[in-house]
Amino acid sequence: MTAHNVLPHINGYKSKNILENIYSQFDGIVVHSEVIKSQMFKIFGAKARKWSICVIPHGTEDKLFEKVDENILSNYRNKIKLLKSNEHNFLFAGIIHENKGLDVLLKSWGKHINKYPSDKLYIIGKTTYNISNELKIIERFHSSIITSFGYKSDEELLAYYIECDFVVLPYKEASQSGVLLTALTLGKPVIATNVGGLPEVINKVHGGYIVNPNDPHLLSEALDKTANISAHNLIEWSNNIREKTLAAYSWDNIANLTIDFYNKIHS
């Protein structure tokens, strides 16, 4: 079994007993980081010590361009280019759960945009909770924030990743993130919080800045750091991130680790 999250991020401890029973039924459990493995032991105590738990990373999104219609992708990219800043463009993407920290990002954006009024923030994805308070802040800074809520096709979502310069993950809680691996696979530096296994991945590929969660001031400072990065250095950094991510988190490597784990259990 793969445990992407040890517990659900929302009211997770209500599911603790149920998940404990489920985990106990499996010969082996895959988690995506050392932090998540430690959380298993912390949450489930002595019972978790009896489980065979193996750390196997979340894989890259290296086949992204093979899945999409090139013409549709190009059309979306052209539309986004009309709105882009000549300075830096930041992306907050994916299903927008409350734990993703959109409220924290918007508070920090207000501080950042006062210093760097040419920057743009794109908020893209389907919301899963009442964001009325967030919408008030978005309206206040509407000239620098572009939103597109709701389901997105692979082509549209990929277009935003490609056209933006940085991806922001201000998560309050997380175990691992497909958004993170998508960004790094595409060579996009990230600004992320020190939660779950995110720092392990970012540090391994030197992929961005890490700040403490729930702190708009620190997040704003991280956003500000990007102003000092030249276009040339950003391209160079992007190429290095992509190269290291594809090497470290390729599905071939993950397949070998998974096979080794299966063989160990059944030997």
Question: What is the average pLDDT value for the chain, to the nearest integer?
Answer: 93
- The fold adopted by the segment(s) 64-241 is Rossmann fold (3.40.50)
Q: Per-residue pLDDT for 13 more than 90?
A: no
pTM of the model: 0.87
Tell me how far apart the terminal alpha carbons of the chain are, to the nearest angstrom.
18
Cα–Cα distance for residue pair 179/73, rounded to 1 Å: 18
Q: Per-residue pLDDT for 10 more than 80?
A: no
Beta bridge partners of 125: 149
Q: What's the pLDDT tens digit per position in 27-75? A: 999 998 888 899 899 999 989 989 999 999 888 866 777 788 999 999 9
pLDDT band at 191; cut points 50, 70, 90: very high
Give the residue from 202, 229, 210, 223 showing the smallest Cα distance to 120: 223
Question: 241 with 207: CB under 8 angstroms?
Answer: yes
Q: What's the pLDDT tens digit per position in 110-131? A: 999 999 999 999 999 999 999 9
pLDDT at 214: 97
Rounded to 10 degrees, what is the CA torsion of 23, 24, 29, 31?
40
Strands (E), the chain: 29-31, 53-55, 89-93, 120-125, 145-149, 166-169, 190-193, 208-211
Pairing of strands 89-93, 29-31: unpaired
Residue spans per domain, the chain: 12-59+250-266, 64-241
